[in-house]
Amino acid sequence: MRGGLLQTISRGIRQLARGVGHVFRPDREADNARVRRENPAVRFPPCSLSTAALNHCDNRQYLDSGLAHARFIMQTIRGYSSDQNLVICEWGCGPGRIIQHLQSLDNGIARLIGTDCHEASMDWCRENLPAIEFQTNGMAPPLLLATGSIDVVYCCAVFSHLGEPLHHAWISEILRLLRPGGLLIATVNGNNLEDRMSGDELAAYRNGSLIVRPEGREGETGFVSFAGDRFIRDSLFNRFENITRLDDTPFLQTVWTATAPAT
């Protein structure tokens, strides 16, 4: 019980520190206001939503990283398919950092869907990004989408905040949603973060285990998991085809792509 209490206190202190930093940074607010004025077509979430999803309230970082990641997502999709009328779903879209840019980068998107378990973020997205569909999902599947209805599912820094049972539950749900041959793009805490693991964690990681540090609530930024090549290839993605690790990307995490079975 004492350990759990200490974890709760520690999490509260970290959250309070982040909030204090945002309250007493007039220079940051001035910078944010300038970025908003210079980019009137972009929708910037309030600090509370940005902090909950991204651990910061920096509009410039929100914009630059969102654009860079959106370009990469579309380039990766177009490396697999030149199809028009694509149906694309971002699972774990948060306050729209990436998804709001996709339609301006590619005119071949027929339907764009964002989902997240953070209800306030989904309410904000529905109000501020009306051209995109948004759904609030639970921590566990399902999504309210038809089987085989999605061409592409992508998720950025979502698996990295889940334990192993939810890894497998969600990968089954993604397989249900994807049409035959549909594409999954997913980022995980991978090999570039090996230096953050203990010796025992690293040995288990390299042997195919998912490493989980449940220091916060599952689905939130304090809950962290690390997924190595063996876990991805032999366990999580073992029902997919064309499993590929992408090493030259704009993401801090490791990016994987895979396709649903063609038949």
Burial 100-124 (b: 16+ CB within 10 A, else e): bbbbeebeebeebbbbbbbeebbeb
Residue 216: partners with Cβ closer than 8 Å, 6 or more residues away: 7, 11, 222, 223
Q: Which residues of the chain have pLDDT under 50?
A: 1-24
| Whole-number pLDDT of residue 221 | 86
**CB-based contact 101:93 (threshold 8 Å):** no
Contact between 115 and 92 (Cβ < 8 Å): yes
> How, if at all, do strands 223-226 and 211-214 pair?
antiparallel
Domain 61-259: CATH architecture, name and number where available: 3-Layer(aba) Sandwich (3.40)
The pLDDT of residue 58 is 96
The conformation of residue 36, written as its DSSP 8-state character, comes to H
In this structure, is the dihedral angle defined by the CA atoms of residues 234, 161, 133 and 104, taken in order, positive or negative?
negative
- What's the pLDDT at 7? 45
260 burial level (CB within 10 Å; 0-12, 13-18, 19+): buried
Q: How many CB atoms lie within 10 A of CB 210?
A: 21
**Residue 169 structure tokens:** 């539950």
**pLDDT at residue 147 in the model:** 98
Among 91, 99, 246, CA closest to 175 = 91
Say how far apart CA 31 and CA 136 lie, in whole Å: 31
Task: In whole angstroms, give the CA distance from residue 194 to residue 163.
Answer: 18
* Cβ contact 172:91 at 8 Å: no
pTM of the full structure: 0.89
235: which DSSP letter?
I
Residue 27, pLDDT score:
83
Can you give the pLDDT at residue 4? Answer: 45
Element (H, E) at 131: none
The whole-number pLDDT of residue 30 equals 94
- pLDDT, residue 96, reads 98
Give the amino acid at 8: T
Distance CA(45)–CA(22), nearest Å, equals 14
